């Protein structure tokens, strides 16, 4: 089905060209990347067909079919995805920083624990987990596609090493500077004020997509640097329910504008509260999100659903 809606999105302060994004003539409904694949052994075929049948049932498929959410273990579902079917993957995986420590939130001492999903199983097991999903992401990325992974010192070095072992070509390590980070309560080391985003292409020999001019325009005509100053999510982004590690929409907007074009398919294997989906649909991209937690998927469902309604009503921000 061809979508002819014109998507209006909140423009960057400095970029008028992003005010109107047309998806005219683009098939926005093609989201069928999960399918049975044929493998050599009979038992292997059975397993993969069973997985594909499960993959065919989304948690939620949105109005106008431009986005889908799946309730699944990321690796299991990624294994069912077609090779070279996705333009951009943004992954905000567990940072494995839930170690029973404390942090400061709104002036109060609180536990750093995010949930069972963020508990480390030890460096070796965490590394194997990361290498496995990164390997599937590499397979399903299109030739000109790119992968973005966010992290902190707790996980980003192991992720970078796994990417190097798999043959990814790392393009940038972006330092996302959080202007007003929570103070360090122990006073034993520096206040953590940044997160890292690794941006990579499948391998060294492919040519990746990069909207260089749009990024330059956003930076007042100067080359965009790898230090991004972006504030935490605004209160209106948290209106739909709480997620302990929600990313700001502005961060995702910059990533998606930099690395994709209208109609492209964006995938987030750890979608949480749906930030990547909200921004993707506002920017006229197609979207698939996966999460193992139903509670978070319900938040994502409300957020993405409202964003799509705004677009189809013509009131999209
Ligand atoms: C860091 S959060 C993502 C937050 C998201 N970027 C946002 O803006 O809300 C990681 C998410 O991954 C999910 N998760 C953790 N392990 C998973 C797995 N093996 N498969 C699928 N989802 C997983 C968690 O439920 C959590 O919502």
Q: Which of 69, 237, 280, 292 to mutate to test the pocket of ligand 1 (most atoms within 8 A of CB)?
A: 292
The confidence band for 313, taking pLDDT boundaries of 50, 70 and 90, is: confident
Provide Rg for the chain, Cα atoms.
19
Atom of ligand 1 nearest to the CA of 300: 9
Q: Is 272's C-beta closer than 6 angstroms to any atom of ligand 1?
A: yes
Check pLDDT > 90 for residue 16. Answer: no
Report the percentage of the chain scoring pLDDT > 90.
60
Number of domains in the chain: 1
Q: Are strands 169-177 and 265-268 parallel, antiparallel or unpaired?
A: unpaired
Q: Residue 97 is part of which domain span?
A: 2-313
Check pLDDT > 90 for residue 41. Answer: no
Cα-to-centroid distance, 2 and ligand 1 (Å): 32
Check pLDDT > 70 for residue 205. Answer: yes
39 vs 185, more confident: 185
Check pLDDT > 90 for residue 277. Answer: yes
Q: Is 91's C-beta closer than 6 angstroms to any atom of ligand 1?
A: no
Cα-to-centroid distance, 11 and ligand 1 (Å): 28
At 243 the pLDDT is: 80
Q: Is 217's C-beta closer than 6 angstroms to any atom of ligand 1?
A: no
The confidence band for 217, taking pLDDT boundaries of 50, 70 and 90, is: very high
At 35 the pLDDT is: 63
Cα-to-centroid distance, 270 and ligand 1 (Å): 4
Helix (H) or strand (E) holding 47: helix 42-55
At 202 the pLDDT is: 97
Average pLDDT of the chain? 86
At 13 the pLDDT is: 42
For 264-311, the DSSP string reads -EEEETT-TT-HHHHHHHHTT-EEEEEES-HHHHHHHHHHHHHHHHHH
CATH of the domain at 103: 3.40.50.150
At 265 the pLDDT is: 96
Cα-to-centroid distance, 274 and ligand 1 (Å): 10
Cα-to-centroid distance, 245 and ligand 1 (Å): 9
Range in 70-74, 95-99, 292-296 the model is least confident about: 95-99
Q: Is 292's C-beta closer than 6 angstroms to any atom of ligand 1?
A: yes
Distances in whole angstroms, Cα of residue 63 to Cα of each of 25, 31, 268, 312 = 18, 13, 19, 9
């Amino acid at each position: 089905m061809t979508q002819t809606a014109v998507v209006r999105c909140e423009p960057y302060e400095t970029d008028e060209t992003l005010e109107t994004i047309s998806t005219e003539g683009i098939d926005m409904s093609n989201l069928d990347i999960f399918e049975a694949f044929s493998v050599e052994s009979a038992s292997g075929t059975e397993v993969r067909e069973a997985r594909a049948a499960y993959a065919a049932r989304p948690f939620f498929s949105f109005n106008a079919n431009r986005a889908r959410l799946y309730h699944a273990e990321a690796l299991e579902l990624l294994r069912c995805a077609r090779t070279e079917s996705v333009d951009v993957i943004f992954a905000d995986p567990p940072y494995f920083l839930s170690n029973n420590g404390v942090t400061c939130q709104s002036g109060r001492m609180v536990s750093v624990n995010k949930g069972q999903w963020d508990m480390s199983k030890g460096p070796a097991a965490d590394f194997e987990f990361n290498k496995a999903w990164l390997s599937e992401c590499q397979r399903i990325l299109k030739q000109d596609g790119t992968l973005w992974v966010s992290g902190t010192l707790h996980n980003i070095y192991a992720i970078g090493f796994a990417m190097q072992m798999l043959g990814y070509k790392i393009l940038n390590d972006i330092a996302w500077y959080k202007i007003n980070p929570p103070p360090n309560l122990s006073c034993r080391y520096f206040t953590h004020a940044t997160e890292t985003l690794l941006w990579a292409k499948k391998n060294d020999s492919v040519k990746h997509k990069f909207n260089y001019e749009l990024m330059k325009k956003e930076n007042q005509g100067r080359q965009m640097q790898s230090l991004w100053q972006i504030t935490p999510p605004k209160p209106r982004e948290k209106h739909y329910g709480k997620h302990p590690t929600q990313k700001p929409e502005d961060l995702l907007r910059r990533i998606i504008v930099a690395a994709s074009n209208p109609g492209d398919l964006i995938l987030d294997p750890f979608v949480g509260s749906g930030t990547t989906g909200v921004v993707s649909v506002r920017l006229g991209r197609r979207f698939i999100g996966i999460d193992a937690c139903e509670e978070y998927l319900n938040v994502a469902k409300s957020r993405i659903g409202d964003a799509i309604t705004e677009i189809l009503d013509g009131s999209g921000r």
